[in-house]
């Protein structure tokens, strides 16, 4: 477990999220290939996951329909994981949205830390990964 204690996921929980195909809503997914959010969405898709880009100013990213909000995406997709590429001070809103749409997990990317939001997510039954990146976790966990 990370230094964030019970508010964030264990290695077994991370392994379970990354080890089987899921539907990932990528909040803040950039249309620009040089951006981390774009690269990680592409990586997740290459691992068999379905990607649902969330970006209010884009119609399509990575060849997938982009949605302005998680609620709009939820109309067309059963979302398993909400992957947050936003500043830490914005993360809590998206964890709350993840709870509201019935996602099973919230993943706060490397550098995105909101312990209170993580605790709310865990209390609501979500697996919460905080301050981690799938590109690091896949090889670290041998997945």
pLDDT in tens, 91-141: 999 999 999 999 999 999 999 999 999 999 999 999 999 999 999 999 999
Query: Taking the model in full, what pTM does it have?
Result: 0.93
Using DSSP, state whether 63 is helix, strand or coil: coil
Distance between start and end Cα atoms, the chain:
18
Confidence of residue 5 (pLDDT cuts 50, 70, 90): low
User: Mean of the per-residue pLDDT values for the chain?
Assistant: 94
Confidence of residue 6 (pLDDT cuts 50, 70, 90): low
Contact by Cβ (8 Å): 140, 2:
no
């Amino acid at each position: 477990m990370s230094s964030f204690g019970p508010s964030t996921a264990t290695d077994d929980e991370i392994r379970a999220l990354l080890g089987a195909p899921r539907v990932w809503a990528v909040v803040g997914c950039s249309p620009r290939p040089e951006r981390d959010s774009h690269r990680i969405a592409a990586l997740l898709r290459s691992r068999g996951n379905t990607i649902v880009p969330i970006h209010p100013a884009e119609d399509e990213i990575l060849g997938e329909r982009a949605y302005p909000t998680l609620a709009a995406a939820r109309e067309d997709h059963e979302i398993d994981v909400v992957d947050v590429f936003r500043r830490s001070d914005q993360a809590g809103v998206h964890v709350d949205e993840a709870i509201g749409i019935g996602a099973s997990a919230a993943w706060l990317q490397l550098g995105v830390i909101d312990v209170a939001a993580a605790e709310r997510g865990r209390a609501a039954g979500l697996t919460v990964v905080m301050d981690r990146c799938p590109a690091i976790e896949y090889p670290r966990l041998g997945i």
